[in-house]
């Protein structure tokens, strides 16, 4: 296991901590998480994939139940996964939960893949036919609202920020170097 896991990270007393990757939908969290988990020899847990295995497609679950029910299960999955030796990839809206934010701050080194408005707008335009909450709404307006709502939450918990304008090929080197600074 990578050496940074032998001692607590800066200001965090709990030695039972992990790495978490957060950010808006479609910024490459899952792909990056696979590469980083492999490099650090960590167990990768993609929360959306875990939900899919247990409850089916998220949009179908929300149609049958509610977004509130989805968020409750998502929160439970995240809290259960915050264990030493894990790298978790959260869903884009997971940090809207104060409980999730608090747990991430306490138990993980958080890497935020920070998306720009154009990338978020493009994702929303592409997802309109699959996501009921985007139907009949302007992607520009939705992107602006989502970024205004979520960016402060991501910033609140993040220990490391990687901006989307950084080439994806450099994400791994940046993350490893920055995580190395947490080792005491």
Residue 114, in any domain of the structure? yes
In which band, very low, low, confident or very high, does the pLDDT at 84 lie, cut at 50, 70 and 90?
confident
**Residue span of the structural domain in which 90 resides:** 17-179
Query: How high does pLDDT run on average in the chain?
Result: 86
**In-domain check, residue 125:** yes
Query: Residue 2: inside a domain, yes or no?
Result: no
* Residue 111 belongs to some domain of the structure: yes
For the purposes of burial, counting CB atoms within 10 Å of the CB of 4, is it exposed (0-12), middle (13-18) or buried (19 or more)?
buried
Q: Which residue's entry shows tokens 């998220």?
A: 58
User: Band of the pLDDT at 90, cuts 50, 70, 90?
Assistant: very high
What tokens appear for 176 in the block?
A: 């490893």
pLDDT tens per residue across span 113-136: 999 888 888 888 877 666 656 666
Check which CATH number belongs to the domain holding 107 and give it: 3.40.50.300
Q: What is the pLDDT of residues 2-55, one digit of tens each?
A: 444 444 454 555 455 789 999 998 888 999 999 999 999 999 999 999 999 999
pTM: 0.88
Total count of domains within the chain:
1
Is 9 inside any structural domain? no
The answer to whether residue 92 sits within a structural domain is yes
Give the percent of the chain with pLDDT over 90.
58
For residue 52, being part of any structural domain is answered with: yes
Asked if 103 and 154 touch (Cβ cutoff 8 Å), the reply is no
* Domain-located, residue 159: yes
- Per-residue pLDDT tens digits for 144-182: 999 999 999 999 999 999 998 899 999 999 999 988 877
With CA atoms as reference, report the closest residue to 90 among 150, 15, 166.
Answer: 150
């Amino acid at each position: 296991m990578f050496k940074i896991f032998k001692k607590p990270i800066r200001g965090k007393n709990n030695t039972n901590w992990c790495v978490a990757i957060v950010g808006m939908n479609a910024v490459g969290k899952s792909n990056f998480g696979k590469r980083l988990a492999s490099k650090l020899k960590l167990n990768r847990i993609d929360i959306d994939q875990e939900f899919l295995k247990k409850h089916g497609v998220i949009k179908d679950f929300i149609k049958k139940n509610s977004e509130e029910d989805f968020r409750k299960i998502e929160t439970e999955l995240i809290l259960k996964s915050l264990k030493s030796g894990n790298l978790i990839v959260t869903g884009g809206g997971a940090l809207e939960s104060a409980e999730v934010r608090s747990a991430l701050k306490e138990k993980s080194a958080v890497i935020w893949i920070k998306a720009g408005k154009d990338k978020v707008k493009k994702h929303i335009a592409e997802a309109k036919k699959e996501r009921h909450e985007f139907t009949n709404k302007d992607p520009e307006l939705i992107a602006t609202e989502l970024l205004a709502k979520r960016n402060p939450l991501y910033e609140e918990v993040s220990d490391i920020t990687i901006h989307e304008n950084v080439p994806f090929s450099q994400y791994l080197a940046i993350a490893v170097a920055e995580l190395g600074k947490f080792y005491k």
